[in-house]
Amino acid sequence: MFILVKDISNVNFDNEFLRLAALSLSLLANLSFVAVPLIFKQSENRVSNLRKKIDHYEKIEEKLQCCTEELRSIQIICESSENASEVFSPDADKAKIAAYYQGMIYQIKEKIKLTLGAIGYKSRGKNNSNNSN
Protein backbone atom coordinates (compact mmCIF):
# COMPACT_ATOMS: atom_id res chain seq x y z
CA MET A 1 0.00 0.00 0.00
CA PHE A 2 2.81 2.42 0.75
CA ILE A 3 4.90 1.32 -2.20
CA LEU A 4 4.39 4.57 -4.05
CA VAL A 5 6.16 6.57 -1.33
CA LYS A 6 9.20 4.28 -1.43
CA ASP A 7 9.35 4.32 -5.22
CA ILE A 8 9.14 8.10 -5.43
CA SER A 9 11.68 8.63 -2.67
CA ASN A 10 14.19 6.52 -4.63
CA VAL A 11 13.69 8.52 -7.85
CA ASN A 12 16.07 11.42 -8.40
CA PHE A 13 14.28 14.53 -9.60
CA ASP A 14 16.16 17.43 -11.12
CA ASN A 15 13.71 19.87 -9.64
CA GLU A 16 13.03 19.91 -5.89
CA PHE A 17 9.48 21.15 -6.52
CA LEU A 18 8.71 18.14 -8.75
CA ARG A 19 10.05 15.77 -6.12
CA LEU A 20 7.87 17.38 -3.41
CA ALA A 21 4.83 17.38 -5.70
CA ALA A 22 5.32 13.71 -6.54
CA LEU A 23 5.83 12.85 -2.89
CA SER A 24 2.68 14.80 -1.93
CA LEU A 25 0.62 13.03 -4.58
CA SER A 26 1.95 9.70 -3.42
CA LEU A 27 1.02 10.48 0.18
CA LEU A 28 -2.47 11.58 -0.89
CA ALA A 29 -2.92 8.36 -2.85
CA ASN A 30 -1.86 6.30 0.16
CA LEU A 31 -4.12 8.34 2.41
CA SER A 32 -7.08 7.66 0.12
CA PHE A 33 -6.47 3.92 0.52
CA VAL A 34 -7.02 4.39 4.24
CA ALA A 35 -9.67 7.12 4.21
CA VAL A 36 -12.12 5.65 1.69
CA PRO A 37 -12.72 2.40 3.62
CA LEU A 38 -13.19 4.41 6.82
CA ILE A 39 -15.77 6.62 5.13
CA PHE A 40 -17.66 3.56 3.87
CA LYS A 41 -17.55 1.97 7.33
CA GLN A 42 -18.95 5.13 8.93
CA SER A 43 -21.74 5.23 6.35
CA GLU A 44 -22.58 1.58 7.02
CA ASN A 45 -22.71 2.28 10.76
CA ARG A 46 -25.04 5.25 10.24
CA VAL A 47 -27.36 3.18 8.04
CA SER A 48 -27.36 0.37 10.60
CA ASN A 49 -28.20 2.78 13.43
CA LEU A 50 -30.96 4.35 11.34
CA ARG A 51 -32.46 0.91 10.65
CA LYS A 52 -32.43 0.14 14.38
CA LYS A 53 -34.22 3.41 15.13
CA ILE A 54 -36.81 2.75 12.42
CA ASP A 55 -37.47 -0.74 13.82
CA HIS A 56 -37.79 0.71 17.32
CA TYR A 57 -40.29 3.36 16.20
CA GLU A 58 -42.28 0.80 14.19
CA LYS A 59 -42.66 -1.31 17.34
CA ILE A 60 -43.81 1.75 19.29
CA GLU A 61 -46.27 2.59 16.53
CA GLU A 62 -47.69 -0.96 16.66
CA LYS A 63 -48.13 -0.70 20.43
CA LEU A 64 -49.84 2.67 20.09
CA GLN A 65 -52.13 1.23 17.42
CA CYS A 66 -53.09 -1.63 19.79
CA CYS A 67 -53.74 0.87 22.58
CA THR A 68 -55.85 2.99 20.26
CA GLU A 69 -57.94 -0.01 19.24
CA GLU A 70 -58.41 -1.04 22.88
CA LEU A 71 -59.45 2.47 23.86
CA ARG A 72 -61.94 2.64 20.99
CA SER A 73 -63.48 -0.67 22.05
CA ILE A 74 -63.73 0.62 25.64
CA GLN A 75 -65.38 3.76 24.32
CA ILE A 76 -67.97 1.66 22.46
CA ILE A 77 -68.67 -0.33 25.62
CA CYS A 78 -69.05 2.87 27.62
CA GLU A 79 -71.45 4.34 25.09
CA SER A 80 -73.57 1.18 25.11
CA SER A 81 -73.55 1.16 28.93
CA GLU A 82 -74.61 4.78 28.90
CA ASN A 83 -77.63 3.88 26.79
CA ALA A 84 -78.39 0.95 29.12
CA SER A 85 -78.79 3.33 32.05
CA GLU A 86 -82.09 4.45 30.53
CA VAL A 87 -83.48 1.02 31.47
CA PHE A 88 -83.43 1.83 35.18
CA SER A 89 -86.82 2.55 36.73
CA PRO A 90 -87.49 5.91 38.43
CA ASP A 91 -86.94 4.27 41.87
CA ALA A 92 -84.68 6.54 43.98
CA ASP A 93 -82.05 3.89 44.78
CA LYS A 94 -81.81 2.78 41.20
CA ALA A 95 -81.64 6.38 40.07
CA LYS A 96 -78.69 6.97 42.40
CA ILE A 97 -76.99 3.86 41.04
CA ALA A 98 -77.66 5.01 37.51
CA ALA A 99 -76.27 8.47 38.27
CA TYR A 100 -73.17 6.92 39.85
CA TYR A 101 -72.51 4.72 36.83
CA GLN A 102 -73.33 7.58 34.50
CA GLY A 103 -70.65 9.67 36.25
CA MET A 104 -68.13 6.86 35.99
CA ILE A 105 -68.89 6.38 32.31
CA TYR A 106 -68.43 10.11 31.73
CA GLN A 107 -65.04 10.06 33.47
CA ILE A 108 -63.92 7.02 31.46
CA LYS A 109 -65.03 8.65 28.21
CA GLU A 110 -63.12 11.82 29.07
CA LYS A 111 -59.97 9.84 29.87
CA ILE A 112 -60.33 7.97 26.59
CA LYS A 113 -60.67 11.23 24.66
CA LEU A 114 -57.55 12.62 26.34
CA THR A 115 -55.58 9.42 25.70
CA LEU A 116 -56.64 9.23 22.06
CA GLY A 117 -55.79 12.91 21.66
CA ALA A 118 -52.36 12.38 23.22
CA ILE A 119 -51.66 9.37 21.00
CA GLY A 120 -52.75 11.31 17.92
CA TYR A 121 -50.60 14.28 18.94
CA LYS A 122 -47.52 12.09 19.52
CA SER A 123 -47.92 10.24 16.24
CA ARG A 124 -48.41 13.53 14.37
CA GLY A 125 -45.31 14.93 16.06
CA LYS A 126 -43.33 11.82 15.14
CA ASN A 127 -44.53 12.00 11.54
CA ASN A 128 -43.62 15.69 11.34
CA SER A 129 -40.13 15.03 12.71
CA ASN A 130 -39.65 12.13 10.28
CA ASN A 131 -40.78 14.28 7.36
CA SER A 132 -38.37 17.06 8.29
CA ASN A 133 -35.42 14.60 8.27
112 touches 74 (CB < 8 A): yes
Predicted model pTM: 0.39
b/e per residue 4-43 (b: at least 16 CB within 10 A) = beeebeeeeeeeeeeeeebbeebeeeeeeeeeeeeeeeee
Domain positions in the chain are: 3-132
pLDDT at 53 over 80: yes
Contact 126, 57 (CB under 8 A): yes
CA distance 72 to 68: 6
pLDDT per position as a tens digit, 22-49: 777 777 776 777 777 777 788 888 888 8
